[in-house]
Chain A
Amino acid sequence: MQVPTMAEMSANGQSPEILFWVGCLGSFDQRSQKVTRAFTSILNHVGINYAILGKEEMCTGDPARRSGNEFIFQMMAYQNIQILNGYNIKKIVTTCPHCFNIIKNEYPALGGNYEVIHHVTLLQQLIDEGKIVMPEGGTYKGKKITYHDSCYLGRGNNIYEAPRKVLEALDAELVEMKRCKSNGLCCGAGGGQMFKEEEKGNVRINIERTGEAIETGAKIIASNCPFCHTMLSDGVKSHEKENDVAVIDIAELVAETLNIKP
């Protein structure tokens, strides 16, 4: 697919309106790549003037910082900010709440000041502005969907409504889990947990959370975070429900409804 990079744009003397920060999972993880492509196809569909950093993008340092390794974090942040400031980036959209949080809230102290939005907020804005028009009787009309609040978008940054408004625009029937919004239960991946074995306990956190999602009777678990996505998909498999219940990112739901294929 056609995806402009900053390097090309800059070489042509152009500058994008917004930088799409893809994130490590979105770049490398096979399942998350589909989300990345779905979101990119929406950007192309709407005709937004955007670019990616491509090979110049690096890990934001989130898992390192939260595990306690400030050195690695500062090294990554330094390099990323050099690149972003070098390209004079003003606005960033990202499909990862961890990247969103760290660039928006933690990079400013290090000299990286950008307007950062998460992709569900951008999708909601595009719907509100009429730039995305959902077809009548779309793919998910009347379908039961439950929504998992990621900690870094929800509790961390108080974004609870934007994703729900997008689901509303799909004409889907939103069924909430027992614990939702600020009471939402974590998927188990944050704070570096994604990259290590869970400590010993009675049950894995993702299995506990997926159980709640399955209990709602929804066949779709809508997610907004590649970390949650991975954990919940594994959870669905542990419950042996992979043929009944799907974990789908909100960007994919929108792309599917608009019938745009990457």
Chain B
Amino acid sequence: MQYIPQILFLIFTVFAIWFFSKNMNIIRRNILLGKDKDISDRKGERWRNVLLLAFGQKKMFRYPLVALLHFVVYAGFIIINIEMLEIVLDGIAGTHRMFREPLGGFYIFLINFFEILAVLVIVSCAVFLIRRNVIKLKRFISHDLDGWPRSDANYILITEIVLMSLFLIMNSADATLHDKGQYLISGYLSPLFSGESAYTIEKTAWWLHIIGVLAFLNYLPYSKHLHIILAFPNAYYGKLQPLTEMDNMPSVQNEVLYMMQPELAPTGDAAPVKFGAKDVQDLSWKNLLDAYSCTECGRCSAACPATQTGKLLSPRKIVMDTRDRLTEVGKNISKNGSFVDDGKTLLHDYITTEELWACTTCNACVKECPVSISPLDIILELRRSLIMEESNAPVEWNAMFSNIENNFAPWKLSPDDRDAWVNG
């Protein structure tokens, strides 16, 4: 009978890790549905970005106060999770605080340090909840977040507060129970526990804490909070070229080359190519990694000239739509073995032409994103599909295209007048 808690613990942990891995594998599979894109260059700069942008959260510091709070939650969560090592080992071995005796005074120091962090995390999460629900910052009340995304954000913050509170309660009850002297912060909670209740409370808090952590882990794949993992690879694979440099399309480059120099054209029928992206499978895997890395903070849309002036376009929605559609396609594949046409596409069913036409390609969204997402890349790929697959453009653009083609300038003006300014 005495092994039951250990067995239960093992079952929970193994199941949680198995289920998490299963979902992460699905996400990996979904990301790899995207088109191939070679991002294997400039490794040194990429690792530097992982350090600066992901570990150091450099871009968050464009707004220092929020950045500090966010950094506390991030650092606090990571550092306090060192304590998880002891919890897991205790759980498996059926021991109780196995590091306390060997570490002695250093153990007390560590727990005190973790407790300070725990309080800072609780305070920061509370501030974040207030910003979202009381102060109602513009980017958090946007319609982009209506429904699940808004709840998602609140669930994450509440869970973090609950987990940190359980950690403090557990410590306090434990100290009461073993009469080893109270810890720095949780000591203030000790009057709440009498000797008899302390045992039950300690055990309950310990179990709720570990179950909570494992549940939270499994919540990640369904949540915007997945950014705590994917921000790292996304920083690595982020764009290093000048922001305004667009990706080349070798397929079109070659078609034009063969048109201009037919002698270079290969003989035989060329395989048909699809231009741009109509659905998520037509985007690159980096675009799809972007979609899963997005934490829906809305800094992109807050900086977007179109969003700010009341246009339908919101870069955050572009990225969220991409993830939603990808999740849908993924479910379709899981269910049917391979993708079965569902009559829907990212273009039109999720993202409308009006949104796409509103972009000025100013790169403000790309510049702002703390986790190296490019909403603009997705917009441009969808535009390519609209123009080159559907010939769907505003009439003025069609005129501009034909002017460039025929007069070598975007207006219907004679190329002979190009140097007329010299005589002006």
Chain A residues within CB distance 8 Å of chain B: 1, 3, 5, 22, 24, 26-28, 33, 36-37, 52, 54-55, 57-59, 61, 63-72, 74-76, 78, 101, 104-106, 109-110, 151-152, 155-158, 182-183, 185-186, 188-205, 208-209
Contact = CB atoms under 8 A, between A and B. Distances in A.
B242 A33 contact: no
Contacts of B399: 195
Most buried by A among B396, B417, B418: B418
B56 interface: no
A203 B27 CA distance: 40
Contact of A195 (B244, B252, B405, B410): B410
Contacts of B310: 200-203
A100 B180 CA distance: 70
A52 B260 CA distance: 25
Interface string B245-270: 11011001101110110000000000
Q: Is the interface of B mostly helix, strand, loop or mixed?
A: helix
Nearest to A158: B242
B354 interface: yes
Contacts, number: 206
Given A78-B257, A155-B366, A199-B313, 10 more contacts: A3-B422, A24-B411, A52-B419, A64-B401, A68-B384, A70-B384, A109-B248, A110-B253, A183-B364, A192-B397
Contacts of B257: 78
B387 A195 contact: no
A72 B404 contact: yes
Given A55-B418, A197-B396, A68 B244 contact: no
Contact of A208 (B241, B252, B308): B308
Nearest to B387: A68
Given A24-B410, A78-B260, A106-B248, A71 B305 contact: no
17 contacts: A24-B410, A27-B409, A36-B421, A55-B418, A76-B408, A78-B256, A78-B257, A109-B253, A156-B242, A191-B359, A191-B361, A196-B400, A197-B396, A198-B311, A203-B310, A205-B306, A209-B305
A66 B397 CA distance: 11
B162 interface: no
Contact of A68 (B256, B362, B393): B393
List of 3 A-B pairs having minimum Cβ-Cβ separation, nearest first = A156-B244, A202-B310, A191-B361
B256 A71 contact: yes
Given A63-B400, A68-B393, A156-B363, A205 B305 contact: yes
Given A27-B409, A101-B242, A193-B360, A55 B416 contact: yes
Most buried by A among B244, B255, B311, B413: B244
A110 B295 CA distance: 36
Contacts of B357: 196, 199
Contact of A202 (B309, B354, B380): B309
B383 A201 contact: no
A234 to B, nearest CB: 15
Contact of B244 (A58, A59, A151, A183): A151
A69 B305 contact: no
A55 B303 CA distance: 40
B419 A5 contact: yes
Contacts of A205: 305-306, 309, 360
A93 to B, nearest CB: 16
B422 A75 contact: no
B126 interface: no
B10 interface: no
A182 B360 contact: no
Contact of B397 (A27, A70, A195): A195
